[in-house]
Structure 1
Amino acid sequence: MPSLYGLLNKAIRVGRLTMTDAKGAVHVFGGKEPGPEAAIRFTRKTAEWKILLNPELNAAEAYMDGELVMDSGSIHDLIKVFYANKRHFDLSPSQIFWRGISRKIRRFHQHNVLSRSRANAKAHYDIGEDLYRLFLDRDMQYSCAYFPEGTATIEDAQTLKKRHLAAKLVLKPGQKVLDIGCGWGGLALYLAHLADVEVLGITLSERQLAVARRRAEVLGVSDRVRFELIDYREVTGKFDRVISVGMLEHVGVQYLAPYFLTVRDRLSHDGVALIHSMSSKAPPGVTGPFIRKYIFPGGYAPSLSETVEALEPTGLWLLDCEIWRCHYGYTLQLWRNRFLDNREAAVKLMGERFCRMWELYLSVAECVFLQGSSNVFQLQIGRERDAVPITRDYIGAEEARLAGLEPEFLERVVASAAQALDE
């Protein structure tokens, strides 16, 4: 009969896991190669066979429910042991079975029609800004920051991200910009202050909408920065620039082609779009069961191959493709540390079980980007082949120019988030 002990003995080759079972017996796995170490203890026997049946989901639930506790180290140490040996865990019969099932029904999981997309957004983004304020930067940027020199504060790295995106958009006075998935409005407001442009930010989160609108009022730019509670499929009109940061992950694999057709139809004849999304160096896959069930229902980070396959029939030009490898890992590391620094406040807000879940989420995501196969891509696309300069030299030059403009407005834009949230 297969057992959890057999699985762990085969899979853990790097680092060491010490496990105390529900009867008090101690088992040690690994130790052949140096690596991360963790010690866990089961408080219920049933958790052991549940994890054997579906390791990824049931181990997460056992930790959330207190059936799996850390004897030494943190849950992050345990996740690091798992990712150091992930390719061996992936070969286990149960993992192969569940991955096969997930592939067959992934279109069902990602069946993001309008009503379902709204429900998915509410499930994650409308749980309360007070939680997000515990670990995000002051501007409430909930997407990958940019670390061109490898180290920066989360505040500076998020500013560098916005500056890099703006440089690629090559904004000109009088242009109209569409921000698909605008979050709490920080990027839209940043772009509007850089140049005399009009911005429409759209979101499916009612709470994000309220904060973004209030920020525009505080800054006195409501006349040219609007925020609406609508889906990307409901937008009409033409825009000179379209930007989407961290939104493609909510589209769903079967909706990638319609998404890019929508982007094409919203672009003016010489328009430029910039699509920033989580992805992977691996072939098309599936969303892990823990993330799908508890964190991002309906979510999927598309591979570059299936994204480009959906883009090609639109007739749009792929003007530039940039791959960010470690940047999200660094971002998540800072988010996780800030969350842990404020964990007591998080427990008061959301309860202990939720906080264990959120620790798992941030830890798993960090390891996926620093030890796993995940990355981020930025696709710059347009209707015309010469919509932007034909070499990338302009990006650095534009970033330097934008950096010179920021002192006039950046602090006010960032501070507007706290003012809107505190009201």
Structure 2
Amino acid sequence: MASSLNTLLHKIIRNGTLIVRGPGGDRQFGSGGDRRVVIRFADEAAERELYADPQLKLGELYMDGRLTVEEGDIYEFLALVKDNTLSEGLTFGMIWRGILRMLASQFRNRVPINHNRRNVAHHYDLDERLFSLFLDEDWQYSCAYFNPPGISLDEAQLTKKRHIAAKLLAEEGQRVLEIGSGWGGMAMYLAEASGVDVTGITLSTEQLKISRERATKRGLNKSVRFELQDYYYLQPHTKYDRVVSVGMFEHVGRLNYRRFFNKVNDVLADDGVMVLHSIGQPYPALYNAPWIEKYIFPGGYIPAISEVMPAVEKAGLLVSDIEILPMHYAHTLRHWRQRFMDNREKAAAVYDERFVRMWEFYLAASEMAFTHENFFIFQMQIVKKRTAVPDNRDYILLREAELKALEESRIRPDRIAV
């Protein structure tokens, strides 16, 4: 085993047991106990690469099969390391790479090039069969709402849609804009449950195709439409009574927050309501996680609420409610990862084994962000006038009850066929 990595692991792993196997034999790290993970390196070069740049190389080595987990799984390995990580475990190489990434991030943030379409295609225009392997029946690719705890993923995603619809205070006949419409499930729920007219915009050609097919299948062509459009080019003369955005804000980029909320201000009616559902992190990041940036979400950025609020205020908008959902995405990602791994052979048939390991690492690392790094979901309700929403939160539960009663008779579910 490379002596540098050996020294680093002795510093980091103090609680639990990590067994490392490789060309140099087996080594044990930690104080023992019930937590035990066993990993194997295929070659000594892999050990040196991991020591030099763990933020990038851990995921790459796992993708390439040069690092495997023989006892436990990749999430348990990541959790064991995270539970033990101390600042003294940082090496000079990690520090200077971090500085370079911070500088590169600052440079990219200041170059006014719009790569939104390309970045969206990188992830959301993947083969649709992939998403069928782990998402719920409605293909909700955002955090579910496990209330009450222990409900199924399908139930939790329906509960999420109901919760957001209740906060929107949508009324029959209103016009609704959805920014980032995914595969159409939220828009169709609003149209059927609340009787509103919905326009959904997306930058994914694959999602657009499926959304339009679903709307036609459910007979919603007159009340739901989907367009391939960037929010920035929405026309200010077209006003919407309600605006909703679920799981899209993470792709806006922190230097574009003012632009985003200015556009919301342009298109939202004076007595309108917006609900923004987004991942949040506890403090602003100096740079994105390099592996996620390179392989999963190029150009994405998870905001801190402290970065969002000034942009809302400067756009002349008011925040009428914020709800923090700290662990619901951890539960969602656990469901997704378990479903995906149950279908790993099908995923490998669509792509290959390297892709399967990449996707498993992505889901496991994302879950760990919520279980170990204080990431959360925030739902922010935004208005132009305080009188647009009630002065208490009782209406949310009342609306949810009304919507739940309507769902059985109004919602025409369709499982997305692939």
TM-score, reference length from structure 1: 0.94
Q: Does 1:227 align with 2:226?
A: yes
* Residues 248-397 of structure 1 mapped to structure 2, 5 A cutoff: 248-397=249-398
Alpha-carbon distance, 1:253 to partner: 1.0
Output the CA distance in 2 between the equivalents of 1:168 and 1:354.
Answer: 38
CA contact (8 A) 2:279 2:378 kept: yes
Which amino acid in the other structure matches residue 304 of structure 1? I
Q: Which residue of 2 aligns with 1:187?
A: 186
Output the CA distance in 1 between the equivalents of 2:96 and 2:4.
Answer: 16
Which amino acid in the other structure matches residue 57 of structure 1? L
Which amino acid in the other structure matches residue 318 of structure 1? V
Q: Note the residue ranges of structure 1 that are not aligned, 5 or more in a row.
A: none
Output the CA distance in 2 between the equivalents of 1:142 and 1:108.
Answer: 30
Which segment drifts farther, 145-154 or 357-366? 145-154
Q: Which residue of 1 aligns with 2:177?
A: 178
Alpha-carbon distance, 1:26 to partner: 1.3
Which segment drifts farther, 219-228 or 82-91? 82-91
Alpha-carbon distance, 1:109 to partner: 4.7
CA contact (8 A) 1:180 1:247 kept: yes
Alpha-carbon distance, 1:194 to partner: 1.4
SS of the residue 2:50 aligns to? helix
* Residues 99-248 of structure 1 mapped to structure 2, 5 A cutoff: 99-109=98-108, 115-236=114-235, 237-248=238-249
What is the total number of aligned residue pairs between the two structures?
415
Which amino acid in the other structure matches residue 254 of structure 1? L
Which amino acid in the other structure matches residue 225 of structure 1? V
CA contact (8 A) 1:202 1:227 kept: yes
Alpha-carbon distance, 1:22 to partner: 2.3
* Residues 23-172 of structure 1 mapped to structure 2, 5 A cutoff: 23=24, 25-31=25-31, 34=33, 36-88=35-87, 91-109=90-108, 115-172=114-171
Output the CA distance in 1 between the equivalents of 2:34 and 2:394.
Answer: 41
CA contact (8 A) 2:183 2:207 kept: yes
Output the CA distance in 2 between the equivalents of 1:96 and 1:262.
Answer: 39
Which amino acid in the other structure matches residue 346 of structure 1? A
CA contact (8 A) 2:22 2:41 kept: yes
CA contact (8 A) 1:247 1:277 kept: yes
Which amino acid in the other structure matches residue 375 of structure 2? S
CA contact (8 A) 1:192 1:198 kept: yes
Alpha-carbon distance, 1:110 to partner: 5.3
Alpha-carbon distance, 1:102 to partner: 2.5
Output the CA distance in 2 between the equivalents of 1:141 and 1:147.
Answer: 14
Alpha-carbon distance, 1:59 to partner: 1.4
Alpha-carbon distance, 1:395 to partner: 0.4
Instruction: Describe the shift of the 1:106–1:90 C-alpha distance in structure 2 as closer, same or farther (beyond 3 A).
Output: farther
SS of the residue 2:386 aligns to? coil
Instruction: Describe the shift of the 1:73–1:284 C-alpha distance in structure 2 as closer, same or farther (beyond 3 A).
Output: closer
CA contact (8 A) 1:114 1:231 kept: no
Output the CA distance in 2 between the equivalents of 1:315 and 1:305.
Answer: 17
Output the CA distance in 1 between the equivalents of 2:28 and 2:102.
Answer: 34
SS of the residue 2:35 aligns to? strand
SS of the residue 1:390 aligns to? coil
Q: Which residue of 2 aligns with 1:401?
A: 402
Instruction: Describe the shift of the 1:399–1:222 C-alpha distance in structure 2 as closer, same or farther (beyond 3 A).
Output: same
Output the CA distance in 2 between the equivalents of 1:249 and 1:390.
Answer: 29
Alpha-carbon distance, 1:99 to partner: 2.9
CA contact (8 A) 1:272 1:382 kept: yes
Output the CA distance in 2 between the equivalents of 1:144 and 1:380.
Answer: 17
Output the CA distance in 2 between the equivalents of 1:111 and 1:227.
Answer: 32
Which amino acid in the other structure matches residue 143 of structure 2? C
Instruction: Describe the shift of the 1:203–1:113 C-alpha distance in structure 2 as closer, same or farther (beyond 3 A).
Output: farther
Output the CA distance in 1 between the equivalents of 2:239 and 2:45.
Answer: 57
Output the CA distance in 1 between the equivalents of 2:287 and 2:88.
Answer: 16
Q: Note the residue ranges of structure 2 that are not aligned, 5 or more in a row.
A: none
Q: Percent identity?
A: 43
Instruction: Describe the shift of the 1:210–1:129 C-alpha distance in structure 2 as closer, same or farther (beyond 3 A).
Output: same
Q: Please give the per-residue CA displacement for 1:39-94, whole angstroms capped at 9, x wherever unaligned.
A: 11111111111111110211111111111122322222212212212444874433
SS of the residue 1:275 aligns to? strand
Alpha-carbon distance, 1:287 to partner: 1.9
Q: Please give the per-residue CA displacement for 1:152-210, whole angstroms capped at 9, x wherever unaligned.
A: 10000000000000000001122111100000000000000012211010111000000
CA contact (8 A) 2:145 2:160 kept: yes
CA contact (8 A) 1:278 1:375 kept: yes
Alpha-carbon distance, 1:14 to partner: 2.5
